[in-house]
Amino acid sequence: MLKPSEEMVKLSELARTQGAVPAPLRAQEVVVSEWVRFKCRYGCKGYAKHLTCPPYVPDLEDIRRMLAEYEHALLLRFDGVPGREGARPEEIPADFHPWFRELILWVNRTVHLLEKTAFYDGYYKAFSFGAYPCIYCEHCVAEETEGVVDESVRRRCRHMDLVRPSMEAAGMDVFATAHKVGWDLSTIPCRDLQYGMVVHLDLTSLGLVLLD
């Protein structure tokens, strides 16, 4: 079994083969903040529509306790929007979630690949966090279910082995965490302040892998 530092090097190299930029940090440097969940609950069109999003993810104290059980973490940066090369911002539809499908899959498949690799290398605690609302299915069972949705509906998830919560869904301050490794992210202006109608497609997305 590789030493943690060696495993981090291996995962970093694997991340690069997937087009991601890796940066190691201590798990305790991941910033978890209450305000992030408020942004999910009040402002995100994906709220309560995906089992990987609030309110179907653990609360912040659970997240903080989980992070305390890890020492090593690998932050991953994804630059650009695959499959939309040459696209113009005005082409983005009002229902923009499916339009970014390849980007969302890129991030989430990559973090899952790194988690799985670490697991089979002997790091059985490895766990990953992606970005954005899940898009493995056209419609999540949470969105299809009428009335109150509780944990029992998770058994009907069609891709239970693949899905992971996003960093933001887990209450992680992506901007502050990125700053810990020297990445300065900024918000993207939107046309007429219209949600999702970004003025450029120079997007940066982040994912996270925990290792111990």
Q: Is the pLDDT of residue 148 over 80?
A: no
pLDDT at 102: 98
Concatenated DSSP letters of 50-94 = STTSTTSS--HHHHHHHHTT--EEEEEEEES-TT-TT--GGG--S
Residue 209: per-residue pLDDT:
98
- pLDDT tens readout for residues 25-57: 999 999 999 999 999 999 898 899 999 999 999
The percent of residues above 70 in pLDDT, for the chain, comes to 100
Lowest-confidence region among 124-128, 162-166, 194-198 = 194-198
**What gap in Å lies between CA 177 and CA 183, rounded to an integer?**
9
Q: Residue 147 pLDDT more than 80? A: no
The pLDDT score that the predictor gives to residue 90 is 93
Average pLDDT, the chain: 95
The pTM assigned to this predicted structure is 0.95
Residue 176 has pLDDT above 90, yes or no: yes
| The residue count for the chain | 212
**Alpha helices, H only, the chain:** 4-17, 34-41, 60-67, 101-120, 141-144, 174-180
Q: pLDDT tens for residues 64-96?
A: 999 999 999 999 999 999 999 999 999 999 899
* Residue 158 lies in domain: 4-211
- Does position 135 have pLDDT exceeding 90, yes or no? yes
Q: How many domains does the chain have?
A: 1
